[in-house]
């Protein structure tokens, strides 16, 4: 059976919106057309994908599995088109992503010296884009901070570093030499809780620390401003906290959680020798 990528895109839109009407608006098609396409997809895969309600649409177990598999498949298709277009233009590029606080200069310089024919570019990423941009073909390799979803990736461990709590400068914990993750149980975490599973899984964590009641921030700068002006805390790798200077925040080592691990990531379905060569260089530099 051949899977229709267009139907998969329609399916992902409905799953993400949890509503056929909103998904149809997002896709710029009519709702009846979208409903027919989803019914056709359900017929093709032989499973019901959604439980349709008046107010919302929920995934079935089969739909949840399809969503998990569809996202990397669609990203790989997009990456394929991008690489073909680059080849058509004769564009010999190699793009390296990096997270804030990670220095890639020496590795990029060494790789560029070995391959002067390549246009080597660097792109700063975020927690949301460090892996997604690899799957989508925007990046050839990416220096990523764990934890990340491993599916579809090759990961090469590089180094690790301590993590610190970033607090308002006048916070009761700001002057301590170190603290434990349980000391932050009652605090509002201003980042994806999955990035700090030790905080997320604290027993008896109070509702004051629950995620979802604060705005979503997309950059470290936004998060730091919120820490300084409105409170809340972050748990960051030491190099990231040190990279940003802000007189109204302080960072304190957390002594009872593991370090942050940095890896080099690239798409598992790519076999270019340039990828493993750059990984070797990056490992030597760290």
Task: Read off the DSSP letter of residue 195.
Answer: G
Q: Which CATH number fits domain 92-159+261-285: 3.10.20.30, 3.40.50.12780, 3.40.190.10, 3.40.50.300?
A: 3.40.190.10
Q: Contact 62/49 with Cβ under 8 angstroms?
A: yes
Rounded mean pLDDT, 92-98: 91
H/E element holding 108? helix 105-114
Map out the domains of the chain as residue ranges. Answer: 5-77, 92-159+261-285, 163-257
> What does the pLDDT look like over 223-244, one tens digit per residue?
999 999 988 999 999 999 988 8
> What does the pLDDT look like over 171-197, one tens digit per residue?
999 989 999 999 999 999 998 888 899
Q: Contact 141/279 with Cβ under 8 angstroms?
A: yes
Q: Contact 131/153 with Cβ under 8 angstroms?
A: yes
Q: Which two tokens stand for residue 187?
A: 């605090």
Rounded mean pLDDT, 206-229: 71
The predicted pLDDT at position 59 comes to 92
Q: Which two tokens stand for residue 88?
A: 């058509």
Name, in order, each residue with C-beta under 8 angstroms of 52's C-beta and a sequence gap of 6 or more. Answer: 20
Alpha carbon of 189 to those of 34, 139, 170, 246: distances in Å?
38, 29, 17, 18
Identical fold, 92-159+261-285 and 163-257: yes
Alpha carbon of 64 to those of 8, 55, 259, 272: distances in Å?
13, 19, 32, 33
Q: What is the dotted CATH code of the domain comprising 163-257?
A: 3.40.190.10
The rounded distance, in Å, linking the Cα atoms of 35 and 20 is: 7
Confidence of residue 69 (pLDDT cuts 50, 70, 90): confident
Strand segments, DSSP code E, in the chain are 50-52, 57-59, 93-98, 119-124, 141-145, 153-161, 163-168, 234-237, 249-253, 260-267
The rounded distance, in Å, linking the Cα atoms of 82 and 137 is: 7
Residue 283 has pLDDT above 60, yes or no: yes
Q: What is the dotted CATH code of the domain comprising 5-77?
A: 1.10.10.10
Nearest one of 66, 65, 48, 69 to 57, comparing CA atoms: 48
The predicted pLDDT at position 182 comes to 95
Confidence of residue 211 (pLDDT cuts 50, 70, 90): very low
Confidence of residue 259 (pLDDT cuts 50, 70, 90): very high
Rounded mean pLDDT, 124-152: 91
Cis peptide bond upstream of 33, omega within 30: no
The predicted pLDDT at position 218 comes to 72
The rounded distance, in Å, linking the Cα atoms of 220 and 190 is: 10
* CA dihedral over 67, 71, 72, 73, signed as positive or negative: positive
Rounded mean pLDDT, 50-77: 84
The predicted pLDDT at position 187 comes to 92
Higher pLDDT, 88 or 155: 155
């Amino acid at each position: 059976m051949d899977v229709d990528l267009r139907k998969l895109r329609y399916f992902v839109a409905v799953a993400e919106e949890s509503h056929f009407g909103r998904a149809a608006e997002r896709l710029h098609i009519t709702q009846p057309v979208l409903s027919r396409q989803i019914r056709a997809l359900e017929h093709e895969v032989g499973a019901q994908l959604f439980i349709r309600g008046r107010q919302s649409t929920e995934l079935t177990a089969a739909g949840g599995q399809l969503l998990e598999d569809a996202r990397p498949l669609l990203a790989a298709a997009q990456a394929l088109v991008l690489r073909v277009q680059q080849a058509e233009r004769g564009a010999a590029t190699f793009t390296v992503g990096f997270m804030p606080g990670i220095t890639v200069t020496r590795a990029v310089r060494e790789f560029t010296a070995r391959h002067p024919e390549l246009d080597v570019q660097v792109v700063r990423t975020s927690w949301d884009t460090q892996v997604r941009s690899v799957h989508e073909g925007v990046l050839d390799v990416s220096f990523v901070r764990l934890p990340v979803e491993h599916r579809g990736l090759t990961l090469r461990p590089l180094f690790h570093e301590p993590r610190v709590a970033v607090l308002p400068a006048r916070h009761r914990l700001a002057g301590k030499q170190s603290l434990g993750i349980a000391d932050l149980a009652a605090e509002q975490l201003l980042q994806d809780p999955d990035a700090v599973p030790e905080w997320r899984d604290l027993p008896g964590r109070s509702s004051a620390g629950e995620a979802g009641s604060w705005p979503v921030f997309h950059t470290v700068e936004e998060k730091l401003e919120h820490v300084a002006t409105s409170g809340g805390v972050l748990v960051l790798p030491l190099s990231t906290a040190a990279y940003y200077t802000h007189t109204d925040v302080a960072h304190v080592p957390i002594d009872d959680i593991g370090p942050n691990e940095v890896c080099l990531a690239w798409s598992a379905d790519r076999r270019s020798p340039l990828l493993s060569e750059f990984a070797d260089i990056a490992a030597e530099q760290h």
